[in-house]
Structure 1
Amino acid sequence: MKQHMHKTEKSNFCLLLAIGLFSCLFLLSPLSGSHHAYAQDASESAEPSSAEEGPSGEDAPSKEATSSANLGPSGLPIPRFVSLKPARVNIRVGPGRDYAVSWLYTKSGLPVEIIQEYDNWRRIRDADGTEGWVYQSLLAGKRTAIVAPWERGKADNVIDLYASASDTSRVVARAEAGVIATIRECTGQWCQLETQGTRGWIRQGKIWGAYPDEVFD
């Protein structure tokens, strides 16, 4: 678990569409300034009070995901992928509001993996391996993915998206490593992604946000 850490640069990732459209997506920003003061402000705006606590909003997982994973206290599989619901989410070092905030995420729809449950709190892990606790109502069952995050920073980090689930089909878009997209469906080998109004198919092993061989629609 990473605590009291700071990233000095914002991460910006770009989608290069085949039609020539260029669009940048903001992913993650660090805590800045005085850590404890900023964490308190973020807590008030990012987490619900006891009167605002509601259902998690997590959708039921696919049968394939349920049968291949252990079930947590909620009856849902552990681990499982979800996404961040609001644009500001505090990540704490423990399952409760008395624990310090270690990270502030500022990207709605960011995919994360739930790896543990405790009461109404979920321990999550992001694509970089950072772990922490978040209140369940700040998570959504909407499935999203990051395109090849392990390729970020490399010279040749653009991935083709195809018109159908085949390498021989037409390329409809090109996505730079790190682009966030909604997953429409996965076949176990391919996933259809949608972002900026464009849909395309990508090899399942080239995204973070779906397990190998996982099938859902």
Structure 2
Amino acid sequence: MRAVTILVPTLLGGSLGSASGSELGDRSGLPLPRFVSVKSKPANVRVGPGVDYPLRWTFVRRHLPVEILAEFGNWRRIRDADGEEGWILAALLSGRRTALIAPWSAAKPVRLLNRSRQNARVNAVVEPRVLVRVETCTGTWCYVRAQTFSGYVRQSRLWGVYPGEVF
């Protein structure tokens, strides 16, 4: 099978630049893997694709980004920012794009800028693991929002978007 980059419309009206070599989900017809967010709270994550499987964990916070890795009926196999995997009912997920600011960086804050340039004015300094809504990405920079701040951040400083992804 040869690698192909697929662009498809998202629920937000943009396009999703999927990872090279992606395939389409049997049920949704959307690229795999892809990022989405948790819509409901609580949201149970199970060991397998069905309610008969034991719980692995429960999301108690909405809008957290997760990566869909596989589909089975109405179930999605996901990975969270900590690398944990499990199965969640598709109805508990949303196409809204969110991200965590550099969750791998224990103490180094990230600067949000007023323009998509390294020498731009700083709008905010954000701690790792802060949740943001991703509005757009150019492949290098993303424009993000939270309740009290907004700005541009290097795409490589977010967990919830792929390197080079444009939307």
Both proteins in one fold, TM over 0.5: yes
* In structure 2, C-alpha distance between the alignment counterparts of 1:130 and 1:137, rounded to whole Å: 20
Partner secondary structure for residue 137 of structure 1: helix
C-alpha distance 180-63 of structure 1, shift in aligned 2 (>3 A): closer
| Counterpart for residue 72 of structure 1 | 25
Q: Aligned residue for 1:119? A: 73
- Counterpart AA for 2:22: A
The corresponding residue for 1:184 is: 135
Distance 1:175 1:88 in 2: 26
Corresponding residue of 2:150: 199
Greater radius of gyration (CA): 1
CA distance in 2, matches of 1:140, 1:160: 27
- The alignment status of 1:87 with 2:41, answered yes or no, reads yes
Contact 1:84 1:108 in 2 (8 A): yes
* Aligned with residue 130 of structure 1, among 63, 84, 89: 84
- Could you tell me which of 11, 14, 25 is aligned with 1:59? 11
The structure where helix makes up a greater share of residues is: 1
In the superposition, the TM-score normalised over structure 2's length comes to: 0.89
Task: Name the amino acid aligned to 1:138.
Answer: L
Q: How many percent identity over aligned positions?
A: 47
Task: Judge conservation of contact 1:143–1:182 (CA < 8 Å) in 2.
Answer: yes
The CA deviation at 1:198 is 1.7
Q: Distance in 2 between matches of 1:159 and 1:131?
A: 27
**Structure 1 counterpart of 2:7:** none
Equivalent-residue separation in structure 2 for 1:119 and 1:201 (angstroms): 37
- In structure 2, give the amino acid aligned to 1:145: A
Deviations 1:136-187 (A, max 9, x none): 00000000000000012x3xx1110000101111100010001000001000
Aligned positions of 1:126-165 closer than 5 A: 126-152=80-106, 154=107, 157-165=108-116
TM superposition outliers: structure 1 runs of 4+ over 6 Å: none
Residue pair 1:66, 1:76 contacting (<8 A) in 2 also: no
- Partner Cα separation in structure 1 for residue 20 and residue 125 of structure 2: 34
* Distance in 1 of aligned mates of 2:95 and 2:148: 21
Q: Which runs of 5+ in 1 are unaligned?
A: 1-57
Deviations 1:20-76 (A, max 9, x none): xxxxxxxxxxxxxxxxxxxxxxxxxxxxxxxxxxxxxx7277252388621110210
Query: Which structure has greater strand proportion?
Result: 2
Q: Does residue 97 of the first structure (1) align with residue 48 of the second (2)? A: no
Q: What is the CA RMSD across the aligned residues, in angstroms?
A: 1.6
Gaps of at least 5 residues in structure 2 are 1-9
* TM-score, normalised via structure 1 length: 0.69
CA shift in 2, pair 1:69/1:180, >3 Å = same
